Amino acid sequence: MQEVIIGKEGTQKFPINNSRVSRQHAKITVSDSGQWTLEDLNSTNGTYIIDDNDELVQIKKVSITEFTRVVLADQTSMGFTFFAQHVVEDDPQNYKAEFQYVLRIHDKALKEKAEIDAKIQKKNMMRFLPGIISAVIGLLLTLLLPFNQKVYGVAVTALFTALLQVIINIYLGKDSKLKDFSNKYSNKLTCPCCSKPLSEIEFKNQMCSRCKAHA
């Protein structure tokens, strides 16, 4: 079993000097069978994890995985954010495994984004629908109605078009998938070392431009 106390005076191999982190803030235990546990050591400002929904959750004692993001105090520079895995890393300057993990999340995010975009594009095609249907109805009414009633055909077509447009706009307006998407990933696509949100260029270079951590 392996046990690491994390804090300003912890037993982790890397220094933590961030002001809101307690001297002995939290403890990570890795059992012989590879079970990871995170426990808060009654820290002043609390211990959090970023859960599967990308939300910050305060914990007392939980099971985690090696790639759980742990937040001591908060996500600012006064707190400290790291991957659990980093406490067993022999070389604290080495962020390779964590960076590769973030790259995998990024790949997954891109795929999901492409699927959402395709769906939205499909839905947007429906905006043409009222125009097309109305044109057909208008044409039929104009052809079929006797001469002195053709004016009603125009009115019915106009009314129908307006109605259809309202219905379709209500239907299309419901789409919030893109917003859900950015909520789901905003906390996860960040540098494993300095927590800076990574840009597409940084993902392409597989390196953080601020702290130079890389895959």
Residues 28-67 that bind Zn ion (CB under 5 A): none
Closest CA to 85 of 103, 100, 73, 104: 100
Cα 95 from Cα 107, distance rounded (Å): 18
Q: State which residue, 36 or 185, has the beta carbon closest to Zn ion.
A: 185
Decide if residue 211 touches Zn ion (CB under 5 A): yes
The phi, psi pair for 192, rounded to 5°, reads -70, -15
Cα 138 from Cα 2, distance rounded (Å): 77
User: 141 is written with which tokens?
Assistant: 């009414």
Q: How far is the CB of 191 from Zn ion (least distance, A)?
A: 3
Q: State which residue, 17 or 33, has the beta carbon closest to Zn ion.
A: 17
Residue selected from 191, 202, 203, 207 as contacting Zn ion according to rule CB under 5 A:
191
Residue selected from 71, 141, 193, 207 as contacting Zn ion according to rule CB under 5 A:
193
Q: How far is the CB of 183 from Zn ion (least distance, A)?
A: 22
Q: How far is the CB of 194 from Zn ion (least distance, A)?
A: 3
Give one DSSP letter per residue of 89-142, joined into a string: -SSTT--HHHHHHHHHHHHHHHHHHHHHHHHHHHHHHGGGHHHHHHHHHHHHHH
Cα 55 from Cα 77, distance rounded (Å): 19
Residues 108-137 that bind Zn ion (CB under 5 A): none
Q: How far is the CB of 206 from Zn ion (least distance, A)?
A: 12
Q: How far is the CB of 113 from Zn ion (least distance, A)?
A: 23
Binding site for Zn ion (CB under 5 A): 191, 193-194, 196, 208, 210-211, 213
